[in-house]
A and B are shown apart, each in its own frame.
Chain A
Amino acid sequence: MNKTFISFLVFVGTLVGFHMGVFPIFTPKEPTWVINRYVYFLCIIATLIIVNIVLRLKPPISLNALVVWSLGFYFYKFILYPPIPWTLFITYMMLWSIGTFLFISQDEETFREFRKPIVKMIIGEYKLARIVVFAALPILVGFGTYKALIPKFQEPVELRTVHPAPPATTRVHGKTYTLETQKNPYRIDEQDKYQKSFPFLDADKQEYMKNVTEGGTVFFQNCHYCHGDQLNGLGMFSHVFNPTPANFVDPGTIAMLRESFLFWRVSKGGPGLPNESTPWSSAMPPWEEHLTTEQIWKVILFEYWYTGWHPRTFDDESSIVGVKE
């Protein structure tokens, strides 16, 4: 039998066999370091390589390309968990396809070898393949068109700016704050260096911890319903919102922002967002209507303390001079 065909059968057989038989074993409810879906994927690759070497199959570059591309598809579709959104899947597959193309076109010879079966199929040397492909192509296009046009009942996706540029100043409780220079009045050390000692026992930092505790009280009275008791954005109400409440534990939220930015966001809530951030879809109330300025600053202090992040600061080279008060 043709070695290329055997290699193809090995690939299909391995993938189907593993997916039907082994995949459930490697996806328990509580995965371990060994029994998890990523180890399972490595096992598939190892099996394919070993079988091909042992049987001395030496698949041609076109089959290699197919295997590489399909494994990428399989990884992003079934292995990577939780499942990634469609837009990200398309992005990743586009990159993987480019990578596969670079792999086959690295030199004239590999590219010619890759094209060989395609050319043979088109000119009619592989008659059956030509019939199958040319019959399947319009069906696939038709199916794609049908999928694209069929009415869906999902709300459309929208490009939303999560961290919009803040205004230069914001007015809270009758006072104007210049966000560029405004600092948290309750913060003692910008870099939280006191956390190296245990702050509760540090006599100098007792005042700081008092403010953190007060901020925590405010948080658990008002914010944790949405932002979660672990500040991970998974509060009891979080699942009914789109967008979901911010996850403060994530390195891409408060860890990237200045405290003054948070002060503006907390004070003005969803309605205070600029248009590019779709204020209509945010459920966060303007907290200036419910909390005092001091409480807002303290709850921000708590959020940083709890998550262990440090507020963003800039070097002294920043040019602006805060003059408005």
Chain B
Amino acid sequence: MLGNHRKQFWGLPWMFVFAISVLLIPSLTDTAYGKEAFAESVFAEEAFAKEVSAQEAEAAAEGEPEVEWSNDVFYKDWEGNPLKGIVSGYPAPELEDSDYNTYSFAPSRIIIWIANQQHLYFGSFVLAVPIFCMVIEFIGIRTRDSDPVLASKYDKLAHDLMKISLTAYSWTAILGGILLFTFITLFPGFFKYMAGIFRPVMHVYALMFLAESGVLYVYYYGWDRMSQDPFMKWVHCSLSVLLNLIGTVLMYLANSWATFMQAPGGIDEQGRFLGNIWHVIHSTLWNPVGVHRILGNIVFGGGIVGAYAAYHYLSAKTEEEKAHYDWVCYVAMFIAIFGLIPLPFAGYWLMKEVYAFRQQMGITLMGGIMAWLFIIQAVMIGLLFFGANSYLHNSMSRVAGAHRYMKYCKFMVLLLIVAFTMWMTPHTIVMTPAELKAMGGAQHPIVGHFGVMSAKNTAVNLMITCTILCFLLYQKANKKITVPWQTLGNCCIAAIFFWAAVNIIFLGVYGYFLPANQRVGLSVPQVSSTLTTLFAGTAINISMFKDSESYGEIKWGTQSKVGTYAIFMLAISFTWLMGLMGYIRSAVRLFWHVTEVVRDNSADAYTLTIGEAGKILTFNTLFVWVQFIIVFWVGSLTGKKAVEKKEAVPEGVPVPAQQQQ
């Protein structure tokens, strides 16, 4: 099958072997480390605890304990007793002034925040782009037979994105280096403790980075070669899967440091490592943070690519260029909105786990000192949904046949605003004493009911459902359905949305009559209703497109300016919101480096006021966008060169003899 190209790909099997070996390294090191430290499997916690008790009793009988055992701060056995482990590390240090270094121009906490945030922004982008490329390349391969022109467009887009990602990748690594040096130089005491516990993870992380780079380079530089043969194209697409797998592992490994700092496990009360590296990695927030970040990365990446395309769309000089970038905007927005819809649910899961870890931490976030930042978050999320819907409405208007659905847009806007009004109503209203007296109490008798979670969940589910409905109408806009069951299909879609809305509202109202812990459980059927509209609605909708006729092609390149500006707003909102939520998640530790284990005794261990935090967030947003612009500019240099070269010597154009040199 490879034919003449066989020799060109001799290195591929070795690359696969190498990549798979690298993937196996965590488990190998984990096992090796585990064998050294324990006599029992890491997962058999019950048996482990019993054995520990037996060994302790035996050791006590002999009077000479050989090893010291201690209780885990988080993990429990099946009976609810703290899990025991062999003390394998030093106690957490009591940090002093000498454990911190400072610069005179800015507090260390602010410097580390900025360094961390910039690295995370870029990390998020370079992890998101391969996901995009994987999806886009796959779609390109699948549409190759039916629409070769569109397939090559998809392929070119994925390739272009990867080109930008390559520059961003080096940039991310540099920012990572800066972050590491900032930690070592400004927080040496804290970093020493973290490195003591996470040293194997840090090494595996570095090796994974190597693997990521290797696969990335093969994936990018092998693009043209591997596109020539259908089989090799599939191999190439598989490489993107491998790239994403490694990227995800990388992100999860790095997450473990942050989640350990917020909700530690695998150590005792004194902060001593209990020998099980998996317990330290897999602390309680590890999974929700991981899922939330993957979705967040997709949304963020979509926003950036969308803004990049929107800029080119507005500055395009030819119709062809306009049409291309309009289409790229659409693809980026499609992916971003697809990630945006489940994102609140992942955030909800994360918050639930935070509450379960420490009620105190949950209250600090949702009702305490961070509560006003959550109000700002609510505003930003609302803006995202407004932006997404505005883009969809404007996009729909340029599709032939969309006039059938455009009349519903105003009602969807009304629903969005009403839902968002509920979502935005704070529980504690800022007011003057005179206003308080006029209102007759701290809670308003009508809008006061919107201040609790029952109302908020209802509102956000309705907003998402409305966005999904808008998306389905967009899909249908230029389709003339011809399947014989179209009436039935439309009725089914209408019924799904109607009953989902009824269920969401009913459960929201019912929640007021239930105890808090049962009320929390209502969010599951509410979310299920919303997701049913997404999956069942989309499935029925797409099934109806079979043999459908078209009212006309989508007029690419005619997107309205409002719709295009909505993309910029989305991108900036994503960036700001990501910084805000990252700050909230991290700042909730208050004066702890590692919650309740390593105290931050530096002069900077204070929580910023909302205004100051807002300024740093805005600085971070502006700073990262300046860098993105530079990266995009660097990425465009090669493109320009190629175009100029092509224009200078057009192929096949005869050159008059007198002009020949």
Contact = CB atoms under 8 A, between A and B. Distances in A.
B439 interface: yes
Contacts of A174: none
Given A234-B441, A313-B516, A162 B367 contact: yes
A232 interface: yes
Given A82-B445, A87-B430, A191-B515, A165 B369 contact: yes
In terms of DSSP, what is the predominant structure of the interface of chain B? helix
Contacts of B363: 163-166, 261
Contacts of B448: 250, 252
B435 interface: yes
Contacts of B443: 247, 250, 252
B74 A319 contact: yes
A313 B368 CA distance: 19
A152 B398 CA distance: 52
Interface in B1-29: none
Nearest to B560: A108
B421 A276 contact: no
Interface stretch (B146-154, B182-190, B352-360): B352-360
Interface in A156-196: 157-168, 179-180, 191-192
B630 interface: no
B284 interface: yes
A83 interface: yes
A57 to B, nearest CB: 18
A318 B354 CA distance: 10
Interface in A140-167: 154-155, 157-167
Contacts of B361: 165
Given A84-B439, A99-B413, A165-B361, A251 B452 contact: yes
A32 B618 CA distance: 50
B427 interface: yes
Contacts of B558: 108
A274 B369 CA distance: 10
A45 B451 CA distance: 28
B188 to A, nearest CB: 29
A179 B363 CA distance: 13
Interface stretch (B48-56, B387-395, B532-540): B387-395
B431 A95 contact: no
A30 interface: no
Given A95-B421, A107-B397, A319 B516 contact: no
A243 B431 CA distance: 10
In terms of DSSP, what is the predominant structure of the interface of chain A? loop
B421 A160 contact: no
B47 interface: no
Interface string B392-406: 011011100000001
Contact of A95 (B396, B417, B434): B417
A107 B76 contact: no
A103 B517 contact: no
Interface in B421-461: 421, 424-449, 451-452, 454
B437 A239 contact: yes
A54 interface: no
Given A111-B562, A233-B441, A244-B442, A165 B390 contact: no
A147 B15 CA distance: 71
A82 B444 contact: yes
Given A87-B430, A166-B363, A244-B436, A320 B369 contact: no
A221 interface: no
A103 B397 contact: no
B313 interface: no
Contact of B441 (A103, A247, A255, A261): A247
A105 B441 contact: no
Contacts of A251: 449, 452, 454, 512
Nearest to A81: B446
Interface residues of B, number: 78
B605 interface: no
B369 A276 contact: yes
Nearest to B395: A107
B30 to A, nearest CB: 23
Contacts of B360: 165-168, 179-180
Interface string A72-88: 00000000111111111
A183 to B, nearest CB: 13
B451 A102 contact: no
Contacts of B449: 251
A166 B417 CA distance: 35
B451 A252 contact: yes
Contact of A313 (B393, B438, B515, B562): B515
B410 interface: yes
A192 B518 CA distance: 13
B614 to A, nearest CB: 13
B364 interface: yes
A42 interface: no
A165 B354 CA distance: 13
A314 interface: yes
Contacts of A258: 359
Contacts of B427: 162, 252
Interface in A242-289: 242-244, 246-247, 250-252, 255-256, 258, 261, 274, 276
Contact of A80 (B386, B446, B560): B446
B397 A83 contact: no
B39 interface: no
B601 to A, nearest CB: 19
A300 B371 CA distance: 26
A220 interface: no
A96 interface: yes
Contacts of B369: 161, 164-165, 274, 276
B347 interface: no
A2 interface: no
Interface of B: 74, 76, 80-82, 284, 355-361, 363-364, 367-369, 371-372, 382, 386, 389-390, 393-394, 396-398, 406, 409-410, 413-414, 416-417, 420-421, 424-449, 451-452, 454, 512, 514-518, 558, 560, 562, 596, 610
Given A102-B417, A157-B432, A250-B448, 17 more contacts: A80-B446, A95-B421, A102-B413, A106-B397, A107-B409, A107-B560, A108-B560, A154-B434, A155-B433, A165-B367, A168-B596, A191-B518, A232-B441, A251-B449, A311-B516, A312-B516, A318-B359
14 contacts: A82-B445, A83-B438, A84-B429, A88-B429, A95-B424, A105-B560, A106-B410, A107-B396, A111-B560, A162-B428, A242-B433, A242-B436, A312-B516, A314-B356
Q: 4 tightest CB-CB pairs across the interface, nearest first?
A: A107-B397, A310-B515, A85-B431, A99-B417
